Structure 1
Amino acid sequence: MSGWFWRTLGGVLLFLAGAVGVSVWQFSSYAPKDTPMPEDKAALAWFIDDYPTARRDFLMRAEALSRQLQGTRSIEVEVPSGRSTTDLFVDGLYIPAQGIEKRRLLVVTSGVHGVEGPTGSAVQRLFMHEFLTPERLVGPLADTGVLLLHTVNPYGFARHRRFTENNVDLNRNASVDDALYRTVNAGYPLVDSLINPQGPASTGSPGHRLFHLRSIAMIAQHGMPALRQAVLQGQYQVPQGIYFGGQRLEPQLQALGPMLASILDEYPLSMAIDLHTGYGERGTLHLFFDPPKDPKVRQGLETAFAGQRIDWGSGDDFYTVTGDFAGWLGQLRSGGTHLPAVFEYGTMDSQKTLGSIKSLHITVLENQGVQHGYASPADEERIKRDYREMFYPSSPHWRTKVIKDSRAMFEAVLANWPRVGAQP
């Protein structure tokens, strides 16, 4: 009897060990699949990998538009850096409404998360080249001003990080008062031990090899929606932790605030399109909008994006954030109506549990490496490669689809835009 028991126990343990081994391999080798499509070299040419070259191209195009249109104004905000990275700027171009009336302002911003900057810059420069033509802006959009902000987080673009030099997530940092920085994310302590490990980052450590199993255990205990919200909402107490929103407004936002407020107040209606990558189904342009409390805002967004699928935050895979940049632009206004919109180009199938856990794991490893160093050069190379690939896929299929979908979305929005009613 005892022999049978031990043989059975051994078989069970062997099975469990095999199952764990298979799951570790599956998690380690996880890679979302692209939607196959013909490679478009013209589309791929919009993507510029490095910050200085992308910046030069934006400035060149901004100068060309300034020669064609009346009353344009350039914006340049230097971002101080105490490290080796220098010559960091948030650049912008303001094109006032070319007609007599100033009724609507369209704001397009990129690089709030620095590592997402190459894609945001590509889409933004495409928008400048194909859609900001004198024919449009003097014709059907004559009452519309346009404000472009290129690479709001240039440090992150230059260093391939989501966060600023101060480890601050600008999309959790934007606020018109200091109350935000006293906010307590009640769920964050539940996940702190999982997402903020100590010591040099090693992809082969037991904690990281079994990260998905540890995450699944937490999901079983607390539920996926609660954990996703706890992790991604933003937090203001752990400066070295992920999704840190800061303890004060970051320098570039301090400098931008007054000049943006004066432009926004020239128009009774504004809409901000903030360009992001990462979250959601790979190869899909998601419209992720926080559910607005003001019915005028919802109606305005529904009109602007008529015919498009809007994710209003009703699903279990959605989360809300504090201190978001697009919403902050509306807070700068002294009146009128503001429509905050986010274009999110999915990369990791993070609407699914495995993709979500994998995305989190890559983020955790990257932050651990920045804060505590790397166990080896090989670990550093792999972690940085995986992190950049998560936000800026090298796949020509993915990049081609970004340009194709962006072109179609801007075409649809600009066709709808004159029907969006300005509110006094």
Structure 2
Amino acid sequence: MTEAVSSFSATYLIARKRFLAEARERGLPHEAFVHPIQDPLLPEAVVDVVRMGPRDARKVLFVTSGVHGTELTAGSGVQLQLIARFADTLPADCAMVLVHAVNAVGCARLSRTDENNVDPNRNILGSFEDLPDNAAYQALHADLCPAVWPENRDGLDGGISDYVAQYGEKALVQNVLKGQHSHPDGLFFGGTFESWTVRNLTAIVRAHSQGAAQLGIVDLHTGVGPYGFGEVMRMDQQPLAGAEWEKIGNLICDVLDRVDVGRPPVKVILEYGTYPFSRVLNSLRADNWLRHYGSVHTPQGRKIKKDLQDALFADDPVWLSEISRQGLECCQAALDEMIAFDMMADDFKNTLIGKTSSDAVYQCLEAVAQKKIGAKLFTVMDYVAGRNMGRRTYSSDPENYPVSGWISLSDNDWFDCVVRKRKTYVANDKQQIFRDFADAALITSLGCGAIVNLPLIHDGELVATVNLLNSEGYFTNQKLAVASQILLPLARIAYLASKELNQEPLPTE
């Protein structure tokens, strides 16, 4: 316990010095990215990157701290221990990239947000042209961010307490933490343009992903959940219904989606619980007031900063020991998962040796799907980007669903989900199937009341979908996770193998 506790620092400045000293002592390469905006009265705001493992590693795990500046000291302590654990013992063909103080200005200022009050963990958007709306936040903004902040405030007040009384604290967590783009002076502001923090992290990830075949990220946070418990939030999987984080999007871990290395990334947020949500939220509200109306150079301002730090970092040996243990275990588990899939991919490639037709290749893929997930009907459909056309190239039931020529696809909810957003489509009931599929009567006549469509991306384009159908309610969160983490990357291997065997030209204009 003593060794773990001693890894944590009181401030960003001390944490940075220790992080760099440990990297130098181990002879690890280091890069420094100085933020263009600096406060001469505060520590220099710098993003530091340390890499362990070879530059040509095929599996690269990023571990990030300080996405929220108020949470840097917890994440930094875990990163310090990761250097001690893995500097000389990383598995073969693996690298670990530690990004220290992702939101450098927030870390230097002890603020959740960046220089523009933008929450980096709500700022990863494909486009800022059509920003999402958060009506629940707008209704609460005036209460969340008042112009006057008393010296002492206990519990939630005004419209916030009324909201909790009507909908419950869980609804408040979901709808407030969801983020918003309408109030630049508010909490959880996602911004109206891409922040320097996100641009810089994107460049770091792209540089360290060169030559990789599999990426992963463990993003370290504090403030939500039971005291000392590290909730593993799999952002690469469908969230469990009712999870506090199911509505949150545009997260920093999604930066891995900006690099196409062939396999879906492993994306984990590790959220360490500290104190009751009301205390954490009030600390963030107070700091937001301080930013816009107060001064840190007053007794009240200094107290607000101290309360904020204490709400998000528990200076308790038991808490520190627990987050240390869980942080190391989580990173090890992410590496193990990446390695296990690498072995599975090699085994799958071996099963394709000697196959002489696309049909034979996809039969091997179907065998995996049946073993790992199960399907009454399994098909593969090629798609032509920009022409809204598809054709069924494989079917486990050629009598009812034969392979087909090219057909135009309807612009509906399915199209919006799979083609536009390139997300997995899930329909677990017949009502949704009848709403979205013209052949719903045939589908249900085969005993199928649930559908999963997995979008297959190659060279940045949607090229095919892998489709599983089974009885109503069949596709649980666990089965969906297997589909995303195992079946989809194997489908990419099968797709490329089938194209090598059958070089049919795609339709032209």
Question: What TM-score does the superposition give when structure 2 sets the normalisation length?
Answer: 0.62
Gaps of at least 5 residues in structure 1 are: 1-39, 68-72, 294-311, 349-354
Confirm whether residue 160 of structure 1 aligns to residue 110 of structure 2. yes
Provide the residue aligned with 1:198 in structure 2.
147
Confirm whether residue 77 of structure 1 aligns to residue 22 of structure 2. no
Q: What is the CA distance between 1:401 and its match in structure 2?
A: 2.1
Provide the residue aligned with 1:119 in structure 2.
74
Provide the residue aligned with 1:178 in structure 2.
128
Q: Percent identity?
A: 26
For these two proteins, the number of residue pairs brought into alignment is 344
Of residues 272, 275, 298, the one that matches 2:217 is 272
Q: What is the alpha-carbon distance in structure 1 between the residues aligned to residue 7 and residue 296 of structure 2?
A: 36
Gaps of at least 5 residues in structure 2 are: 346-488, 494-509
Q: What secondary structure does 1:280 align onto?
A: strand
Kindly provide the amino acid, as one letter, of the partner of residue 241 in structure 2.
S
Q: What is the alpha-carbon distance in structure 2 between the residues aligned to residue 166 and residue 404 of structure 1?
A: 35
Q: What is the alpha-carbon distance in structure 1 between the residues aligned to residue 319 and residue 57 of structure 2?
A: 38
**Structure 1's 414 and 55: CA in aligned 2 closer, same or farther, altered over 3 A?**
same
Q: What is the alpha-carbon distance in structure 2 between the residues aligned to residue 56 and residue 375 of structure 1?
A: 24
Q: What is the alpha-carbon distance in structure 2 between the residues aligned to residue 211 and residue 364 of structure 1?
A: 11
Q: What is the alpha-carbon distance in structure 1 between the residues aligned to residue 203 and residue 284 of structure 2?
A: 33
**Structure 1's 56 and 389: CA in aligned 2 closer, same or farther, altered over 3 A?**
same
Q: What is the CA distance between 1:264 and its match in structure 2?
A: 2.2
Confirm whether residue 89 of structure 1 aligns to residue 46 of structure 2. yes
Confirm whether residue 258 of structure 1 aligns to residue 219 of structure 2. no
Provide the residue aligned with 1:342 in structure 2.
269
Q: Equivalences for 1:103-114 in 2 at 5 Å?
A: 103-114=58-69
Q: What secondary structure does 2:249 align onto?
A: coil
8 Å Cα contact 2:38/2:44 also seen in 1: no
Kindly provide the amino acid, as one letter, of the partner of residue 406 in structure 1.
G
Kindly provide the amino acid, as one letter, of the partner of residue 140 in structure 2.
V
Higher relative contact order (CA 8 A, sep 6+): 1
Provide the residue aligned with 1:7 in structure 2.
none
Provide the residue aligned with 1:363 in structure 2.
284
Q: What is the alpha-carbon distance in structure 1 between the residues aligned to residue 3 and residue 154 of structure 2?
A: 40
8 Å Cα contact 2:65/2:99 also seen in 1: yes
Kindly provide the amino acid, as one letter, of the partner of residue 175 in structure 2.
A
**Structure 1's 65 and 82: CA in aligned 2 closer, same or farther, altered over 3 A?**
closer
Higher relative helix content? 1
Q: Deviations over 1:56-105 (max 9, x none)?
A: 222223234446xxxxx53221112253335221011234547xx74311
**Structure 1's 202 and 113: CA in aligned 2 closer, same or farther, altered over 3 A?**
same
Q: What is the alpha-carbon distance in structure 2 between the residues aligned to residue 417 and residue 329 of structure 1?
A: 14
8 Å Cα contact 1:330/1:338 also seen in 2: yes
8 Å Cα contact 1:113/1:163 also seen in 2: yes
Q: Equivalences for 1:57-72 in 2 at 5 Å?
A: 57-66=18-27
Q: What is the alpha-carbon distance in structure 2 between the residues aligned to residue 210 and residue 413 of structure 1?
A: 38
Q: What is the alpha-carbon distance in structure 2 between the residues aligned to residue 119 and residue 106 of structure 1?
A: 19
Confirm whether residue 284 of structure 1 aligns to residue 229 of structure 2. yes
Provide the residue aligned with 2:293 in structure 1.
372
Provide the residue aligned with 1:46 in structure 2.
7
**Structure 1's 283 and 112: CA in aligned 2 closer, same or farther, altered over 3 A?**
same
| Structure showing greater Rg | 2
Q: What is the CA distance between 1:55 and its match in structure 2?
A: 1.5
**Structure 1's 177 and 132: CA in aligned 2 closer, same or farther, altered over 3 A?**
farther
Q: What secondary structure does 1:227 align onto?
A: helix
Of residues 172, 182, 186, the one that matches 1:227 is 172
Provide the residue aligned with 2:314 in structure 1.
393
Q: What is the CA distance between 1:319 and its match in structure 2?
A: 4.1
Q: What secondary structure does 2:135 align onto?
A: coil
8 Å Cα contact 1:109/1:148 also seen in 2: yes
Q: What is the CA distance between 1:142 and its match in structure 2?
A: 1.2
Q: What is the alpha-carbon distance in structure 2 between the residues aligned to residue 150 and residue 390 of structure 1?
A: 21
Q: What is the alpha-carbon distance in structure 2 between the residues aligned to residue 416 and residue 332 of structure 1?
A: 19
Provide the residue aligned with 2:455 in structure 1.
none
Q: What is the CA distance between 1:417 and its match in structure 2?
A: 4.4
Q: What is the alpha-carbon distance in structure 1 between the residues aligned to residue 107 and residue 73 of structure 2?
A: 7
Provide the residue aligned with 1:383 in structure 2.
304
Kindly provide the amino acid, as one letter, of the partner of residue 106 in structure 1.
L
Q: What is the CA distance between 1:400 and its match in structure 2?
A: 2.4
Q: What secondary structure does 2:117 align onto?
A: coil
Q: Deviations over 1:258-300 (max 9, x none)?
A: 342243242121110001111110011110223626xxxxxxx
Q: Deviations over 1:116-145 (max 9, x none)?
A: 101100101101111231xx33xxx21212
Q: What is the alpha-carbon distance in structure 2 between the residues aligned to residue 259 and residue 377 of structure 1?
A: 38
Q: Deviations over 1:315-349 (max 9, x none)?
A: 3544432321011222333643211101111101x
Q: What secondary structure does 1:87 align onto?
A: coil
8 Å Cα contact 1:172/1:322 also seen in 2: yes
**Structure 1's 177 and 318: CA in aligned 2 closer, same or farther, altered over 3 A?**
closer
Q: What secondary structure does 1:178 align onto?
A: coil
**Structure 1's 375 and 144: CA in aligned 2 closer, same or farther, altered over 3 A?**
closer
Show structure 1 runs of 4+ deviating over 6 A: none
Q: What secondary structure does 1:202 align onto?
A: coil
**Structure 1's 44 and 86: CA in aligned 2 closer, same or farther, altered over 3 A?**
closer
Q: What is the CA distance between 1:389 and its match in structure 2?
A: 0.7
Question: What TM-score does the superposition give when structure 1 sets the normalisation length?
Answer: 0.73
**Structure 1's 74 and 316: CA in aligned 2 closer, same or farther, altered over 3 A?**
closer
Q: What is the CA distance between 1:362 and its match in structure 2?
A: 2.1
Provide the residue aligned with 1:305 in structure 2.
none
**Structure 1's 203 and 344: CA in aligned 2 closer, same or farther, altered over 3 A?**
same
8 Å Cα contact 1:106/1:145 also seen in 2: yes
**Structure 1's 252 and 412: CA in aligned 2 closer, same or farther, altered over 3 A?**
closer
Provide the residue aligned with 1:70 in structure 2.
none
**Structure 1's 336 and 65: CA in aligned 2 closer, same or farther, altered over 3 A?**
farther
Provide the residue aligned with 1:36 in structure 2.
none
Q: Deviations over 1:369-396 (max 9, x none)?
A: 2211169945334322221111112222
**Structure 1's 82 and 419: CA in aligned 2 closer, same or farther, altered over 3 A?**
closer
Provide the residue aligned with 1:321 in structure 2.
248
Q: Deviations over 1:141-188 (max 9, x none)?
A: 2121222211111222222211112211111112344347x2222321
Q: What is the alpha-carbon distance in structure 2 between the residues aligned to residue 113 and residue 173 of structure 1?
A: 12
Q: What is the alpha-carbon distance in structure 1 between the residues aligned to residue 319 and residue 197 of structure 2?
A: 31
Q: What is the alpha-carbon distance in structure 1 between the residues aligned to residue 221 and residue 228 of structure 2?
A: 13
